[in-house]
């Protein structure tokens, strides 16, 4: 992913401080590792710098890489230098203020010339005048010294108020507590502002379901409204689906009630069948008993008939009995 361009004033500052870097800066392994950890350069770029044979070549390679490392690289680089190379960081801060004042004055002159319809003819002379006379006078009037490298206390106070009263409440809510920023000078405060804004962008990305800050193709209000509309559409679809589910649920409840009713009817029929079966069993038993009794009576009659025949035979009489009886 291509990083945004570094500010032209920061690029000019690095270029104008080249001699200072070549004289004093030593891009050691520890220094370069700190640069990687802070996100100023990548591991591949660190390896590329380490491959250079001399210290000066390493410095030149580092300064070739830095301008392409985005809008936050300069401030982070200055912050890292502040620990072991405070004089270089002070030189960078001072040179940046020169570039800043110069750019602002040039822009003001351009706007003034356009407004009155004039063309700036001797641009080189005017730029030299701004750099050599106007800017040093402005810096002296603003109380900016070579050693301090800050814009001045008049700039720090409102910047601290912006951080405490506006940016931090946006990021973490207004809990009534203020962040301690007294020990920070303007450069550190600007880094703090950039960090908070970056965190805000990342939170916005997460909330809006964007994968990267580069997807901010529209303004934040438009993105929020678009996301809200997407959520509304999702909720509407969920409501429709919920209605379908409720209808299906009502249908299932009705079918369940019918099944319960059929089950009660079947149970009653089974109970009635059992009762009828018991009655039939009792009747069958009664019939069996009657059949058994009939058989017993029939056997008894047969015995009596046989006895009667025997008596009649002894008396010389013949007893004729229908075959139907026997």
Tell me the mean pLDDT per 10 residues along the chain, length 326.
77 91 91 90 92 92 91 90 89 86 76 65 61 61 45 56 71 64 64 72 75 60 79 90 90 89 87 86 87 86 84 74 55
Identify the pLDDT of residue 113.
66
Where do the structural domains in the chain lie, given as residue ranges? Answer: 1-149, 151-217
> Helix or strand or coil: residue 27?
coil
d(CA 101, CA 125): 17
- Exposed e or buried b per residue across 313-326, where buried means at least 16 C-beta atoms within 10 angstroms of its C-beta: eeeeeeeeeeeeee
CA 165, distance to chain mean position in Å, is 27
For domain 1-149, give its CATH number from 2.30.110.10, 3.40.50.300, 1.10.533.10, 3.30.200.20. Answer: 1.10.533.10
d(CA 188, CA 181): 9
Identify the pLDDT of residue 300.
87
d(CA 298, CA 291): 10
Apex 186 CA angle, 184 and 191, nearest 5: 80
d(CA 183, CA 181): 6
Identify the pLDDT of residue 101.
79
Pinpoint the alpha helices (H) of the chain. 8-16, 18-24, 29-37, 43-50, 55-65, 73-84, 86-116, 123-129, 135-141, 153-162, 168-172, 186-207, 220-314
Identify the pLDDT of residue 321.
57
Identify the pLDDT of residue 278.
87
């Amino acid at each position: 992913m291509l990083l945004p361009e570094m500010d032209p004033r920061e690029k000019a500052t690095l270029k104008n401080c080249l001699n200072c870097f070549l004289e004093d800066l030593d891009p050691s392994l520890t220094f370069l590792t700190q640069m990687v950890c802070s996100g100023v350069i990548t591991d591949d770029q660190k390896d590329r710098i380490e491959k250079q044979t001399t210290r000066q070549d390493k410095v030149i390679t580092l300064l070739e890489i830095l301008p392409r490392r985005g809008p936050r690289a300069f401030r982070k680089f200055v912050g890292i230098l502040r620990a072991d190379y405070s004089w270089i960081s002070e030189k960078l801060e001072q040179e940046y203020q020169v570039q800043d004042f110069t750019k602002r004055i040039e822009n003001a002159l351009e706007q003034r010339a356009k407004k009155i319809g004039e063309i700036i003819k001797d641009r080189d002379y005017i730029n030299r005048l701004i750099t050599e006379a106007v800017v040093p006078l402005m810096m002296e009037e603003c109380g900016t010294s070579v050693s301090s490298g800050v814009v001045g206390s008049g700039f720090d106070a409102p910047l601290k108020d912006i951080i405490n009263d506006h940016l931090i409440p946006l990021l973490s809510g207004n809990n009534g507590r203020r962040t301690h920023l007294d020990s920070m000078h303007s450069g550190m405060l600007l880094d703090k502002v950039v960090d908070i804004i970056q965190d805000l962008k990342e939170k916005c990305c997460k909330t809006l379901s964007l994968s990267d800050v580069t997807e901010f193709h529209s303004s934040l209000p438009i993105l929020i409204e678009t996301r809200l509309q997407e959520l509304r559409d999702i909720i509407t679809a969920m409501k429709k689906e919920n209605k379908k589910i409720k209808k299906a649920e009502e249908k299932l409840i009705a079918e369940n009630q019918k099944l319960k009713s059929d089950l009660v009817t079947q149970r009653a029929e089974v109970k009635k069948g059992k009762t009828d079966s018991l009655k039939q069993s009792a009747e069958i038993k009664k019939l069996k008993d009657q059949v058994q009794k009939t058989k017993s009576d029939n056997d008894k009659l047969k015995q009596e008939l046989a006895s009667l025949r025997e008596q009649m035979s002894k008396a010389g009489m013949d007893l004729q009995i229908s075959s139907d009886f026997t």
